[in-house]
Structure 1
Amino acid sequence: MSLTDTDAGALPAPVAPDCPSLPPWDSEETLNLRWPGEPGALRAELPGQGSPRGADLLDGVHTWGPIPTPAGTFELVPVRLGRDLPLVHGWMNDPEIAAFWELAGPRDRTERHLRAQLDGDGRSVPCLGLLDGTALSYWEIYRADLDPLAHHYPALPHDTGVHLLIGGAAHRGRGLGSALLTAVAALVMERRRACTRVVAEPDLRNTPSVTAFLRAGFRCSGEVDLPGKRAALMIRDRDRDQDRHRAQVR
């Protein structure tokens, strides 16, 4: 799956970064991707919605709380099908979003995509992104080290991945994507102390998305061939965040 941001802000038309091609990665040498527990043992009720308990694999996304951004107060709220399916379905049928997410079509197609995560083992949590209480974006926070993505790059334990889209054309092109990515990366590093990297794999053709990641402090580690796309492997390191913090307090 790819990420859609359409956030070029006031910058000139972005040019796709020159990412190095990663050498073929031997998945035999990567992490053991088999989760040792039974998926059923990880399930618990989130408020108002039967779904996996993200606290086991993602340290309770539903408890992460709000964070200030230049655009307002942002918060991730796990999806509830009965409440959120019509909104997410509408976004998935926006042509700009559908071009990369490939989930346009009837509502049950979006429902199956969401339910596969909600009824899974908790390694991916679909969320709405609320800005000052208004749902403006959709996110998937996932364990990249337990995802098939880990077969394509040298994953580290607790690598945390993000997919996102900005819903509604009126909210795009305002710099929101990079501002919200910066906030989510900060939340991940604060709430998931075992995580040292936030990763993403936007489609190389989605230049505004790649640009938003770069503006949010991610680096392009390389290009990877994934099912259905050639992607830029974007990484934001905890060490880089710490260096930035030290520079700010000097």
Structure 2
Amino acid sequence: MSDTKLTQVDTTLFTLRALQMEQDIPIIHDWVNREYARYWQMQHTSTEDVKAVYTAITQTKGTQVLMGFYAGHPAFLLECYWVNEDPLSNYYDAMPGDLGFHILVAPAEKPIHNFTWNVFSVIIEYMLSEPAVHRLVVEPDVRNEKIHILNKRAGFEYQKIISLPQKDAYLGFCTREQYNAAKSAGSSIIPQLFSRQVTQMGHFSFRPLQLDTDIFLIHNWVNREYAKYWQMQHTSIEQVKHTYTSIIQSKHAQAFLGFCNNVPAFLWESYYAANDPIGKYYDVQEGDYGLHLLVAPPDRVIHGYTLQILHTIMQYMLMNDAVKRVIVEPDIRNEKMHVLTQKVGFAYTRELQLPHKKAYLAFCTREQYAATLPAATLLTQKN
């Protein structure tokens, strides 16, 4: 890629062909011996070692190795394999049509914005163009943070950690529907309604919920066990769509899809309390606005992650002069939410018996929120 001077990617310039040993092995040998390729597990190998490995792979039943090019330059290596023909099938109940893959992108000498994501999109669309493929399967090293971000952005869902002979790995799956939903959601990130940069975590942002593109993600999230307090388990896509159609069309409520580093990360709703059923349960004041928050299924624990999502929402809401107090009414059993809301300044007042839950009623003013922020906290944001 050293001759490429583009600042954005033209996806029509990607091409694929079958691996050609004599021509490609010296290039691959250089890539796999770089530090960035350590998760490929082929460092300190000779050219002959690499050739022997790929000779064996290309002779394996159900496996295909392809060399990828961008504008005529070697850009990535792709290995595809039918899981039913692979040892990975020993680690879960493999289904017909499960296609696994590995990808190695060329070392970036002159970085191009979003290049790796475009490579990833190209290879996923290439694999999903095969009708026999029903699901894509990945098993990345648990330490490979960069590939986890790409996988999540593409719609992969991690199910569990498996111990393979050479690594501990996440086992993840992605269907056409998941990929299309994630891609549509990601393509709609710009324009963002609000964004915020957090040191060591990255970029948090959100935009209004778009049912046509987001409904598959939301349906998956609300039906998980961890989302039990959202009270939408065992619902169909049509039921979820009906619920959010009502919210979006309401004059007093809004729904938003949030992202962390361009990966769908949270769902949140705001509502004007005076026009909401909650107004029947307490003495509503002008400027009371409520919020509900659901974070995407966690693959791993990141200290302070959900708190930073809540900070992002609070900062956006309190930028609006019409908002005098933010209110929440979390289920009394939802201990994690109580801890989070109190960290950003919410004061719990009393219990409420709502139609579907017993809840605490809590309020947070600008002054209460500001008091929770360290003086040294540096935040950048735009709207």
Q: TM-score, normalised by structure 1?
A: 0.67
The structure-2 alpha-carbon separation of the partners of 1:172 and 1:212, relative to structure 1 and needing over 3 Å to count, comes to farther
2:216 aligned residue:
86
Shift in Å, 1:89: 0.5
2:205 aligned residue:
75
The answer to whether the aligner puts 1:160 opposite 2:279 as a matched pair is no
2:331 aligned residue:
203
Q: Distance in 2 between matches of 1:239 and 1:117?
A: 29
The structure-2 alpha-carbon separation of the partners of 1:88 and 1:172, relative to structure 1 and needing over 3 Å to count, comes to farther
Shift in Å, 1:158: 2.2
1:208-219 residue pairs with structure 2 within 5 A?
208-219=336-347
Q: Distance in 2 between matches of 1:242 and 1:206?
A: 24
8 Å contact kept, 1:161–1:200: yes
2:308 aligned residue:
179
Determine which structure has greater relative contact order: mean sequence separation of CA pairs < 8 Å that are 6+ residues apart, divided by chain length: 1
Deviates more, 1:81-90 or 1:223-232: 223-232
Letter aligned with residue 112 of structure 1 = H
8 Å contact kept, 1:182–1:217: no
Which residue of 228, 232, 238 maps to 2:366? Answer: 238
CA displacement, residues 22-50 of structure 1 (integer Å, 9 cap, x when unaligned): xxxxxxxxxxxxxxxxxxxxxxxxxx9xx
2:267 aligned residue:
138
Q: Distance in 2 between matches of 1:93 and 1:243?
A: 36
SS of the residue 1:248 aligns to: coil
Which residue of 267, 270, 276 maps to 1:147? Answer: 276
Letter aligned with residue 308 of structure 2 = A
8 Å contact kept, 2:345–2:372: no
1:223 aligned residue:
351
SS of the residue 1:127 aligns to: strand
Shift in Å, 1:63: 6.8
SS of the residue 1:66 aligns to: strand
The structure-2 alpha-carbon separation of the partners of 1:68 and 1:160, relative to structure 1 and needing over 3 Å to count, comes to farther
Q: Distance in 1 between matches of 2:278 and 2:345?
A: 21
The answer to whether the aligner puts 1:194 opposite 2:316 as a matched pair is no
Q: Distance in 1 between matches of 2:298 and 2:354?
A: 28
CA displacement, residues 49-78 of structure 1 (integer Å, 9 cap, x when unaligned): xxxxxxxxxxxxx87421233532222211
8 Å contact kept, 1:69–1:180: no
Q: Distance in 2 between matches of 1:216 and 1:242?
A: 8
8 Å contact kept, 2:192–2:205: no
SS of the residue 2:375 aligns to: helix
CA displacement, residues 189-237 of structure 1 (integer Å, 9 cap, x when unaligned): 11x1121111111100111111111122222122111112111112111
2:236 aligned residue:
106
Q: Distance in 2 between matches of 1:139 and 1:181?
A: 10
Q: Distance in 1 between matches of 2:229 and 2:288?
A: 27
Q: Distance in 2 between matches of 1:205 and 1:193?
A: 32
Q: Give structure 2 stretches of 5+ with no counterpart.
A: 1-183, 185-190, 377-383
Which residue of 84, 95, 120 maps to 2:250? Answer: 120
The structure-2 alpha-carbon separation of the partners of 1:219 and 1:69, relative to structure 1 and needing over 3 Å to count, comes to farther
8 Å contact kept, 1:100–1:203: no
Deviates more, 1:82-91 or 1:125-134: 125-134
Q: Distance in 2 between matches of 1:172 and 1:153?
A: 36
The structure-2 alpha-carbon separation of the partners of 1:173 and 1:233, relative to structure 1 and needing over 3 Å to count, comes to farther
8 Å contact kept, 2:193–2:208: no
Shift in Å, 1:188: 0.7
Letter aligned with residue 166 of structure 1 = V
Q: RMSD between aligned alpha carbons?
A: 2.3
SS of the residue 2:299 aligns to: helix
**Based on CA coordinates, which of the two structures has the bigger radius of gyration?**
2
Q: TM-score, normalised by structure 2?
A: 0.45
Deviates more, 1:196-205 or 1:232-241: 232-241
The structure-2 alpha-carbon separation of the partners of 1:241 and 1:98, relative to structure 1 and needing over 3 Å to count, comes to closer
SS of the residue 1:223 aligns to: strand
The structure-2 alpha-carbon separation of the partners of 1:210 and 1:242, relative to structure 1 and needing over 3 Å to count, comes to closer
Identity of aligned residues (%): 23
